[in-house]
Structure formats: C-alpha cells, structure tokens
Amino acid sequence: MARRILITGVAGFLGSHLADRFLADGHEVIGVDNLLTGSRRNLAHLAREPRFDLIEHDVSKPLFLEPGVDGVLHFASPASPVDYASLPIQTLKVGGLGTHHTLGLARRHGARYMLASTSEVYGDPEIHPQPEGYRGNVNPVGPRAVYDEAKRYAEAMTMAYHRAHGLDTRIVRIFNTYGTRMRPRDGRVVSNFIVQGLRGEAMTIYGTGSQTRSFCHVDDQVEGIVRVYHCRRVDPINLGNPDEYTILELAALVMEETESPVPPVFRPLPPDDPVVRCPDISTARRELDWSPTIGLREGVRRTIPYFRGLIDGE
Ligand code: NAD
Ligand code: UDP
C-alpha cells in the first residue's frame, strides 16, 4: 500500500538515496532539508516527480504539516567529522531539538518513526566488533561529542516516545557508508581519497593509518534501512559492512582504482579519532536476513565515475 513518507536530510547523501528507494517502492516522499550540508543537485532528477515534494526547513524548529504522514525518517544531521566540527551547535540542535520535533510530528500523525543513529554512539570502542548491547566509550567534552552525544540523546528521546506514548519507533546505528552523492570535499575518508586520487593529489592519511574502519556501500545500506523500517524491532540495529580495513589499506586500494601514482602524505590524527570500528551485524542477519553484498573494491569502482563527473564539470 502506498504511504506518505517524510524524510529529513533528504538533500544529503543517504537521504536522497532513501527518497529514490521509497519512490521506487511506490510511496510518496515529502523531503525536508535546510541544505546545510546537502545539495539540490542530489534531488535534481526528482524535479518532475509528482510523488516528491521538498520543504526547505530547519528541523531544529517545529514543523507542522496537514495530517496524513505515515512514516518519518529522521536523517538530518551533519555526518562528516569535518562538518560537525565546523557546525557544532547546529549538530547538537538537529540531533536534540530536531529529534524532539520530528518525534512530535510522528506522534501527531500516528506515523512510524525511524532515527538515523550511528556507530559513533560507541565512541572509541573497547569491545570489538561492536554489538548493539555495547554501551560505548564516548568523551562527552571532546570535539566529536557534539555528534556522538546528540545521537545518544536522540536514541534516548526516541525510546522515551516509544515507552511514554507508544510511538512505533526504529533506531538504525549506521556504520561508515560511502557512495555516489557524497560531497567531494566533505572530509570523509572515502570521498577525500577518491577525489585526491582523481586529481593526482597525495592522499592525506591521518595518524599512522593503522586505525580501522568497515565500509558499507550505499546500496547495501539503503536495503538494510528499508528492512529495518519494515521490521518490528524497536531496539537499535547495527547496519554496516563487517569487512574491516586499515586506512592505509583503503588508501592503497583507492590508489590502484584511481591509478594515482602519488604517494600518500601523513597528517596529525584528529583528537578522539576511534582506533578501531567494525559492526557486529548478527542482529541484522538474524532479524532482517540482511548482510552486505558489495565488497570495498567493487563499491569504490561504482563510486569513482560519480566523482570523476563532478571534477570534470568544475
Ligand atoms: P549528509 O551531510 O550528506 O546529509 C545530511 C543532510 O541533513 C544534509 O542534506 C543537510 O543539509 C541536512 N540537514 C542538516 N541539518 C539540518 C537541519 N537542521 N534541518 C534540515 N536539514 C538538515 O550526511 P549523510 O551521510 O547522508 O548522513 C545522513 C544521516 O545518517 C545523518 O543523521 C548521519 O548522522 C547518519 N549517518 C551516516 C553515516 C554515513 O556513513 N554516511 C554513518 C552514520 C550515521
Ligand atoms: N581519514 C584520513 N584521511 C582523510 C580523512 C579521514 O586518514 O583524508 C581517517 C580519519 O582520521 C578516520 C578514518 O579515516 O580515522 C575515517 O574518517 P571519516 O572522516 O571518514 O569518518 P569517521 O569514521 O572518523 O567518523
């Protein structure tokens, strides 16, 4: 049955892919975004789509819509560490006030609610890989706290609306995801390395490059998110690709795929940068029958033409 789905952060990387997926599944999508870190370019192909509307609005302020929204997916938030370091108050507000307002909207409409949370709720983890039951190791006053604590508050607020008001809620803890529609200079490692490789610039490795991340292609991530939306589990679910790489390994792979001959350079490690990160996805495997299917090399190959197109157009 066709539904009206409201997606905040719709002009961003994940939000725009989710809009496409919900439209492809036959639903109507109301997108909300204030274009803080997103781009109209990510939605240009929907200009003539009658089942899509964009509302330009800051969801840190209340939003009132005519009744009839069936689902709310709250994806608005700066997500790159460089973005949230330069937008600290906006990040706290959209995770705190934005979550509160969108929960209120969902309650008023009797809609299902999904929160985009993050592996950052685990901070610099002491347990590896990270299962949902792990409570994390977050520095509440470090530079990453504006994002990590906003998301932890957002999770608590989502569970409070579920418990106090019986709201039908979902929480996805998203691990590093990459693909088309990321901003070329958003500061995240995959977009940085691909753009640097294509421009013939040295890849910037922070620290020794021995820190690890586990990279999930956007197509796998969107499939996981949709499955969580349609499942019955209220408790958080990790979504990510458990194949773990050091940043040095990632740089070597992207150098090969972009045919970059320039050796990488080393830069200082930002404070509180997690040493390791890898999702335990046994809950998603068990409850959603979901696991990623796109390996890192294949995913990077699928992403390079998008960045090449942007660079050629500059
Ligand atoms: P993004 O920066 O590409 O998109 C975020 C979008 O939210 C942008 O379009 C931005 O303009 C919008 N936005 C920010 N503040 C807003 C506000 N106050 N009102 C309205 N719109 C606002 O980031 P992304 O990678 O697409 O991340 C989307 C969501 O997924 C975020 O909530 C992020 O925390 C979460 N997430 C992403 C990843 C990842 O690897 N991509 C990992 C963990 C969690
Ligand atoms: N990183 C790097 N070079 C870059 C950008 C990032 O070495 O140009 C490192 C960063 O220090 C971190 C990892 O890559 O250890 C992933 O960074 P990203 O910003 O993508 O997201 P995070 O997982 O830290 O939230």
* DSSP string over 238-252: EES---EEEHHHHHH
As a whole number of angstroms, the distance between CA 1 and CA 24 comes to: 13
Which amino acid appears at position 133 of this protein? G
Q: Which of 161, 186, 181, 180 is nearest to 171 (CA)?
A: 161
As a whole number of angstroms, the distance between CA 313 and CA 8 comes to: 28
Question: What is the sign of the dihedral through the CA atoms of 154, 156, 160 and 163?
Answer: positive
User: In this structure, which residue's CA is closest to atom 4 in ligand 1?
Assistant: 12
| pLDDT tens, per residue, the chain with 314 residues | 889 999 999 999 999 999 999 999 999 999 999 999 999 999 999 999 999 999 999 999 999 999 899 999 999 999 999 999 999 999 999 999 999 999 999 999 999 999 999 999 999 999 999 999 999 999 999 999 999 999 999 999 999 999 999 999 999 999 999 999 999 989 999 999 999 999 999 999 999 999 999 999 999 999 999 999 999 999 999 999 999 999 999 999 999 999 999 999 999 999 999 999 999 999 999 999 999 999 999 999 999 999 999 998 87
State the distance from the centre of ligand 2 to the C-alpha of 188, rounded, in angstroms.
6
pTM of the model: 0.98
Residue-level pLDDT at 126: 97
For residues 176 and 214, is the Cβ–Cβ distance under 8 A?
yes
- Contacts of residue 50, Cβ cutoff 8 Å, sequence gap at least 6: none
Q: Which of 199, 169, 203 is nearest to 189 (CA)?
A: 203
- Tell me, yes or no, if 147 is annotated catalytic: yes
Pocket test for ligand 1, best of 43, 77, 122 (most atoms within 8 A of CB): 77
Q: What is the pLDDT of residues 284-300, one digit of tens each?
A: 999 999 999 999 999 99
Q: Which of 84, 113, 122, 147 is catalytic?
A: 147
Burial class of residue 267, CB neighbours in 10 A (0-12, 13-18, 19+): exposed
